[in-house]
Chains A and B, each alone.
Chain A
């Protein structure tokens, strides 16, 4: 029996712990500083919006950890001594380990803006950020305006949060259109429009110059780089991406770049030390993935994988086909396979796109224009089956095949209006094809790949 210590109780660390427990009787300790019990970070927004209480974001009841013999240790690790295999905490405590898993996640980016550490300036990542927001923006009387800097997934969520309490929001986005480094123009523009429909003051092509303080050291206003305009506000949300949370590792012998460098077995350069989740950085990218992936699912998958290795079944981290999802205010987004934006897509990649004439529903299918191989799909306002697309990607199906069987992939609730016929008709018209849409078949849907 070995003592496995996991630093960080996010989805990566907790998944690793659960799977190690399933497959072994190693002693397990999870170290955390943010909150004793695991909670779902992605749900913090819903607490502020009043959809949930904090307890609802905890996927396991509090007795779960003791019952499964997983020790929870609250504390902040100051440094790691990999020679002696000891963690030193900021309060002087020590904890020795046989194997160490680093799963410390991310922290919000700050780019050295003047005033970025003032009161009222915050990210939206930690539980403590939520507490700060509740303090500085409890309602629209105390927070007369908020400015959000950075047009990504967290930025739009923070805007949605603040709007749920009718707080006026100015949203500064560096790009010429929302998230257009990732989304094709059709979709990015639809989201721009939707943001404005929610009465959010969206400023595209706009950068932050500085944040100004009042006499008490609290945010008073921000200055815009391009125009010099001053916008008065009580809260500034910095949501310009995240970066691995590994400052305490920098002095150790563990090799780091932006994140903790790991090989395909999630091992660091030091034996018996592993890194998973947002804080791990692959030496070489896997497929078209980034070296650092700050995504819920990849954290969970790395946790599943490293647990196998630690339990004696050495397993390579092999993420399958890319997938993801998000929600932009009222618009749900799912993606399977790779759809790159116009800016970053390759020479051979081309789109087929369809958009609903009135509602916020659209899709983009990316395929190889030489071979017609299906590469990926973005769907907005339509839910799709993960299993089906995973199978089609594995089978290297063509775009025609995907369209022909598109009804099988639909995952919208029952009675929803389906759009496959219009989608296929548009493709036929544009490409001079005569694809006939097949009716949905349970047999195909549940056939094992």
Chain B
């Protein structure tokens, strides 16, 4: 059994190495006509970029993606610098007509995006020509290896029950060097994915056949991310099924997050795209779906006929009615740990790291400041965007629409949710984003705290303050602080993952939806001690 496990680990690492290594393979060359077509498509009027790009990419010399990317980005910048200088020159000469003319030659967008788009057309090599084999050697090996590593636990971990032996004795789960390596890999992955997509264009070739099958088009870096996301959740979901096989709540919940990720977040949008509809994740609620009210999305929905209008109405109803009503009946868990994609990854890939959330009072203070600030930020951004959309203005209350959207997308959308949110799993726990950053979680939390039937009931006087519940709370709630006082837990941040209840050795905690009355139950003396409470209160 141990041998199978080790073989699995080796296969997995091999798959991961090949996957990472493919980045460095292949050559990127365009023919002159391909380039001309692209430039025409884009409507570039700059002669400089034409010449520069021709020099850079129309060549028979083999060049890898890094050389290619560097040349394309230089071309981009050379062209823009040239016209910027002209603009400055005419500006100094006060030649306004000439100055105004130059702007049409400028190239907008991001250099890495230009490079990605060209590279997607330019690439040749192993991943492009033999994408099925490449899939087997990367995804295939990774999946088989990971499963071989995980499935023997069915026997190795022994009988069903809590399986936390050794978590704080092993490097990977105790912030050791393995954890730091994983952090570096994940952070790098997100940085490249968000900011240097051209570097991983090879990964898109591996998935082109699958993408073509699903939506009729080639894979983008976002398709790669989505596919990888689902694959990781599935494989780590198997791990969850084995680890928590004694706990039906965990089994059902894991099945639910897997279903919503694969069907709602991945398959349905892809199929919609193949039917020429806007690809939409029907479970992704605003303000987590922060660009729902961006101009491009509203325009796209308005131009998509009946389905577009349906999505628009659905999106608004989801946030304003469905979300709070469901939180009232079931707590925010129905979304955060049963449906949400971010939550889904946290509950599968992130499960081995759940113990790292910070339980200190200071972390709780930081959490409340940060998450509510992000909620306000997202609402202000949306307000500005909508005002500008309908009024045609460029700014509102002194805030430029484009600026606030870009800032939010960069700081919150990319850095907080991705790079920090997932990249920091191995050191800061699996719910950094959900706890400190997610504006939807903040909104759900407010409803959960003040108007909900959900609570974690504390079982009278049974708590022995052992601390398992607090340690394994991914949201950093000091569950024990309530349990040992005999108080129910009604914290806004609780996502209802149910692990506190699972790890409790004394059967003290139960997630349940009951009447609002008595949900919050401060107690002076715990159950079991027959001190006459009324006389106690009266004497005070």
Contacts from A to B (Cβ < 8 Å): 11, 40, 42-43, 46-47, 49-53, 56-59, 61, 164, 197-198, 296-297, 300-301, 304-305, 308, 313, 315, 318-321, 323, 325-327, 329-330, 332, 334, 383-387, 390, 411-417, 442-443, 445-446
For chain B, residues 134 to 179, give those with C-beta under 8 angstroms from any C-beta of chain A: 158-162, 164-170
Contact of A386 with B249 at beta-carbon distance under 8 Å, contacts A49-B165, A51-B164 already known: no
* Residues of the B chain whose Cβ atoms lie less than 8 Å from the Cβ of A304: 525-526, 529, 531
Q: In this complex, which of A11, A43, A47, A308 has the most chain B Cβ atoms within 10 angstroms of its Cβ? A: A43
**A265 to B: closest C-beta gap in Å:** 12
For chain B, residues 429 to 475, give those with C-beta under 8 angstroms from any C-beta of chain A: 457, 459-462, 464-468, 470-471
- B506 on interface, CB distance cutoff 8 Å: yes
Partner among B164, B460, B471, B530 whose Cβ is within 8 Å of the Cβ of A49 = B164
| B14-22, B24-32, B61-69, B511-519 - the one binding chain A | B511-519
* Residues of the B chain whose Cβ atoms lie less than 8 Å from the Cβ of A325: 462, 506-507
A320 adjacent to B471 (CB under 8 Å) = no
B530 adjacent to A411 (CB under 8 Å) = no
Contact of A50 with B465 at beta-carbon distance under 8 Å, contacts A308-B531, A413-B498, A416-B249 already known: no
- B247 on interface, CB distance cutoff 8 Å: yes
* Residues of the B chain whose Cβ atoms lie less than 8 Å from the Cβ of A446: 514-515, 517-518
**A9 to B: closest C-beta gap in Å:** 13
Q: With the chains together, A404 CA to B515 CA distance in Å?
A: 22
* Residues of the A chain whose Cβ atoms lie less than 8 Å from the Cβ of B366: none
B462 adjacent to A334 (CB under 8 Å) = yes
Partner among B162, B248, B515 whose Cβ is within 8 Å of the Cβ of A417 = B248
Contact of A330 with B528 at beta-carbon distance under 8 Å, contacts A59-B484, A61-B360 already known: no
B461 adjacent to A59 (CB under 8 Å) = no
* Residues of the A chain whose Cβ atoms lie less than 8 Å from the Cβ of B158: 198
- B527 on interface, CB distance cutoff 8 Å: yes
Contact of A442 with B514 at beta-carbon distance under 8 Å, contacts A59-B481, A319-B530, A413-B248 already known: yes
Closest 8 CB pairs of A and B: A386-B460, A330-B161, A383-B507, A43-B466, A50-B169, A415-B248, A301-B529, A50-B166
A56 adjacent to B471 (CB under 8 Å) = yes
* Residues of the A chain whose Cβ atoms lie less than 8 Å from the Cβ of B251: 415
| Interface bin, chain B | 35 or more
Contacts from B to A (Cβ < 8 Å): 158-162, 164-170, 246-249, 251-252, 360-361, 457, 459-462, 464-468, 470-471, 480-481, 484, 498, 501-503, 505-507, 510-512, 514-515, 517-518, 525-531, 536, 539
19 contacts between A and B (CB under 8 A): A50-B164, A50-B166, A51-B164, A51-B167, A59-B480, A301-B526, A318-B530, A320-B530, A327-B506, A330-B159, A330-B160, A383-B459, A383-B510, A385-B460, A386-B460, A386-B527, A414-B248, A414-B498, A442-B515
Contact of A319 with B529 at beta-carbon distance under 8 Å, contacts A308-B536, A325-B462, A415-B252 already known: yes
Closest to B525 in A: A304
B526 adjacent to A300 (CB under 8 Å) = yes
* Residues of the A chain whose Cβ atoms lie less than 8 Å from the Cβ of B511: 413-414
* Residues of the B chain whose Cβ atoms lie less than 8 Å from the Cβ of A43: 464-468
* Residues of the A chain whose Cβ atoms lie less than 8 Å from the Cβ of B512: 414
Q: With the chains together, A411 CA to B111 CA distance in Å?
A: 59
Q: With the chains together, A11 CA to B465 CA distance in Å?
A: 9
A40 adjacent to B466 (CB under 8 Å) = yes
Q: With the chains together, A442 CA to B465 CA distance in Å?
A: 28
**A48 to B: closest C-beta gap in Å:** 9
Q: With the chains together, A59 CA to B471 CA distance in Å?
A: 11
Contact of A46 with B468 at beta-carbon distance under 8 Å, contacts A51-B165, A61-B361, A383-B507 already known: yes
Q: With the chains together, A59 CA to B481 CA distance in Å?
A: 7
* Residues of the A chain whose Cβ atoms lie less than 8 Å from the Cβ of B248: 413-417
Q: With the chains together, A417 CA to B503 CA distance in Å?
A: 18
Partner among B167, B459, B529 whose Cβ is within 8 Å of the Cβ of A320 = B529
* Residues of the B chain whose Cβ atoms lie less than 8 Å from the Cβ of A323: 460-462, 528
B459 adjacent to A52 (CB under 8 Å) = no
**A27 to B: closest C-beta gap in Å:** 21
Closest to A318 in B: B530
A386 adjacent to B528 (CB under 8 Å) = yes
A40 adjacent to B525 (CB under 8 Å) = no
Contact of A386 with B168 at beta-carbon distance under 8 Å, contacts A51-B468, A304-B531, A446-B518 already known: no
B531 adjacent to A315 (CB under 8 Å) = yes
Contact of A332 with B529 at beta-carbon distance under 8 Å, contacts A43-B465, A325-B462 already known: no
Q: With the chains together, A301 CA to B159 CA distance in Å?
A: 36
Closest to B512 in A: A414
**A372 to B: closest C-beta gap in Å:** 25
**A47 to B: closest C-beta gap in Å:** 8
**A160 to B: closest C-beta gap in Å:** 10
Closest to A410 in B: B510
A313 adjacent to B536 (CB under 8 Å) = yes
Q: With the chains together, A319 CA to B531 CA distance in Å?
A: 8
Q: In this complex, which of A164, A198, A330, A411 has the most chain B Cβ atoms within 10 angstroms of its Cβ? A: A411
**A387 to B: closest C-beta gap in Å:** 5
B467 adjacent to A49 (CB under 8 Å) = no
* Residues of the A chain whose Cβ atoms lie less than 8 Å from the Cβ of B468: 43, 46, 51-52
Partner among B480, B518, B528 whose Cβ is within 8 Å of the Cβ of A321 = B528
Closest to B467 in A: A56
* Residues of the B chain whose Cβ atoms lie less than 8 Å from the Cβ of A334: 462, 506-507
* Residues of the A chain whose Cβ atoms lie less than 8 Å from the Cβ of B361: 61
A52 adjacent to B528 (CB under 8 Å) = no
Q: In this complex, which of B466, B468, B481 has the most chain A Cβ atoms within 10 angstroms of its Cβ? A: B466
Q: With the chains together, A55 CA to B499 CA distance in Å?
A: 20
Q: With the chains together, A100 CA to B167 CA distance in Å?
A: 42
Q: With the chains together, A300 CA to B529 CA distance in Å?
A: 9
Partner among B165, B170, B528 whose Cβ is within 8 Å of the Cβ of A297 = B528
Closest to B507 in A: A383
**A346 to B: closest C-beta gap in Å:** 23
Partner among B164, B360, B506 whose Cβ is within 8 Å of the Cβ of A332 = B506
Contact of A413 with B502 at beta-carbon distance under 8 Å, contacts A43-B466, A51-B168 already known: yes
* Residues of the B chain whose Cβ atoms lie less than 8 Å from the Cβ of A49: 164-166
Contact of A387 with B168 at beta-carbon distance under 8 Å, contacts A56-B470, A304-B526, A446-B514 already known: no
* Residues of the B chain whose Cβ atoms lie less than 8 Å from the Cβ of A198: 158-159
B501 adjacent to A52 (CB under 8 Å) = no
A50 adjacent to B527 (CB under 8 Å) = no
